[in-house]
Amino acid sequence: MKKTVLFLIMLATLTWGLQAVDLDLAVFYGSRSVKDAQIKEVYGNGSAYFPCVSVNFWKGLFVGLGYEGGYDRDGKIGLYQEDTSLKVTGLEIFAGYRLDLGKVSPYLKLGLGNYAYTQTVSGQTRVDEKKSALTLAGGARFYPVKGLFMAAEIKCVPLKVKPMDAEVDLGGMRLAAGIGYTFNL
């Protein structure tokens, strides 16, 4: 939490002297798929939310910070069908380009996420690790009124991890819809 507050203070300080800076606050919610077949069989696909803040500082270029949460699934695992849960969260920094075409603005963004994943089996933590991964996303915004926007986004997150002796892919696609507001500073 301290790192997030420090980042926001630094971001505000860096943008203080710039002209025509836009600050975007948004929240996205949607589906989150899991690529690994065995993980998908036990836990299934789920949903994820992504609140984020970004600064558009020059001709469509923007940088931002967001948090992915919401994927917290339960299942049965192993020969004895023990109770298990898997939780994946992540903090992401990103940069991108948005093409403003009036009421519609398509965009692309590249990010670096630091993801934490925790697996428990029969109430005992088996895995509690972190891994970084590059992310790639694309989407479009629609501005029904000045400042307010609705968005749709698809994001690819390749997150191959090796918590035990076998590699698994916790990555997948995220399809999300969002709403946000642009503050012209």
pLDDT string in tens for the chain (185-residue length): 666 766 666 666 655 555 568 899 999 999 999 888 888 888 889 999 999 999 998 888 999 999 999 999 988 887 888 888 989 999 999 999 999 898 999 999 999 999 998 888 887 778 888 989 999 999 999 999 988 999 999 999 988 887 767 788 888 899 999 999 999 87
- Kindly state the tokens that stand for 41: 């069989």
**Whole-number Å distance between alpha carbons of 151 and 180:** 8
Q: What is the pLDDT of residue 5?
A: 67
Q: What is the pLDDT of residue 11?
A: 62
HSE of 121, CA atoms in CB hemisphere, 13 A: 10
Q: What is the pLDDT of residue 57?
A: 82
SS3 labels along 64-122: EEEEEEEEEEEEEECCCCEEEEEEEEEEEEEEEEECCECCEEEEEEEEEEEEEEEEEEC
- Domains of the chain by start residue, with CATH: 23-70+88-113+128-184 (2.40.160.20)
**Whole-number Å distance between alpha carbons of 183 and 109:** 20
pTM, entire model: 0.83
**Whole-number Å distance between alpha carbons of 66 and 89:** 11
- Kindly state the tokens that stand for 166: 């076998």
Contacts of 124 (CB under 8 A, 6+ apart): none
State pLDDT tens for residues 133-178.
999 999 999 999 988 999 999 999 988 887 767 788 888 899 999 9
Q: What is the pLDDT of residue 17?
A: 53
Angle value at C-alpha 26, between 179 and 106, nearest 5 degrees: 70
The residue length of the chain stands at 185
Q: What is the pLDDT of residue 64?
A: 95
SS3 labels along 20-59: CCEEEEEEEEEEECCCCHHHHHHHCCEEEEEEEEEEEEEC
